[in-house]
Structure 1
Amino acid sequence: MSLDDVGSTNDEARRLSQTEAAADLLVVSAVTQSAGRGRRGRAWVSPAGNLHASWLIRVESLHHAAQLGFAAAAALVAALAELVPGPEFQAKWPNDVLAAGRKCCGMLLESAGSHWLVLGIGVNVVAAPPPEGLNHPACSLADHGYDGGAGAVLEAFCRHFHPLLTAWRQTGFAPVRAAWLGCARGLGQPTVVRLENDTLTGTFAGLDDEGALLLDQGASGVRRILAGDVFFPDAR
């Protein structure tokens, strides 16, 4: 379903989940969003030319559904590497994709009832937000020479995402975890994690079986991180 303008494609997908139009892998895309949002309610700038899309995904349970964010990130890394030769694309925990170390994509997963997951993706195809107020530097695909449209990004993403979704449904998180770790930013590198009321340092040691970031703090042990802003000051 392609729309000219919506408040949020996630909100539209959630609305459709309660109607007869609900279908597994239904895609809602829009030219612009007037109320796009990212993780923790942060505003997502949504100009024409960028990709703004949400998928309605049928799940047996929401218990492990957040793992699909890792599948989406790994799929998008593969899709963008195919479309935009040159910059290194990497997944950044928990839900970003970077191009040459700068954020070019964000994702937002939300529930829609007990058996529907909404996966929202925003890709900076032609424009990135201004740097003021950003936690991480951003870029667009156009900054790296891409002159294709958002539709090509959408098609390539779907082509890479659907096999990972099938693998997740059939065998669980293991193949998704392996795919994500294979393109992860900062693995084995010094890491800073900013929590709501604390800042932690250590080494990014990987993901556990639930998708939590494992932070090796040496003598203090390995800590599971379920939420936070992650920085890799020395990552290459």
Structure 2
Amino acid sequence: MCWTPAQAAAFLRHNASAYADQLTDLFEVMIGTGLRRGEALGLHWHDVHLAERRLYVRWTLTAVGNNHLHLGPPKTRASRAWIALSPRVTAALTRQARYYHALLPAGPPLEGLVFAHADGSPLRPQWVLDQLRRRTAELDLPRIGLHDLRHTAATIMISSGVPLAIVSKTLRHSTLSTTLNTYGHLLAYAARDAVSALGTALDHADHDNLTAPTASMAA
């Protein structure tokens, strides 16, 4: 299950207008990068490079049982990689940096978790999921989970014509076949859109050629 681009955009607009809080920026980052839930909640400031517009995935937050949170490295080497940041995601992280400095005006430079409580402790995944579903219900959007935000990011990239190799790199799949097996069904739609766009371009060029004045008429 995932959202369409229009649904994702509506959700992000609603968060920005109705809440404009930390979760607003968290959801923007998750949809805008395809980060897994634990990777987003385990993101540290020293792994965020705003000037270079990239972040590095070096930590993941997992919930063990109902009360214990564990912060550790990603399971696979492929997951420990860098991700480029769009202007939207860069803006969201910049807002979080301002929030950090406002909270600790005389404190140290950016450090610790990017998305955390005021005391620096991590956000509980279940609480974030509850907030996602509550805000989703406010717009009557399809009910999805946090991992579905990653699927939404992949779907938007593929439907927008991003090459599968780039999608795979952004999602940090271990192999291209993993991306193909997971999202291969979307390629048929993307392929149809591509040839439709090609046909439309040729039709327009043909029409322009037929309606353009000939050299003799111009004389």
Structure (1/2) with the larger strand percentage: 1
| Structure (1 or 2) with the greater helix fraction | 2
TM-score, normalised on structure 1?
0.28
- Max radius of gyration: which structure? 2
Superposition TM-score, scaled by structure 2 size: 0.29
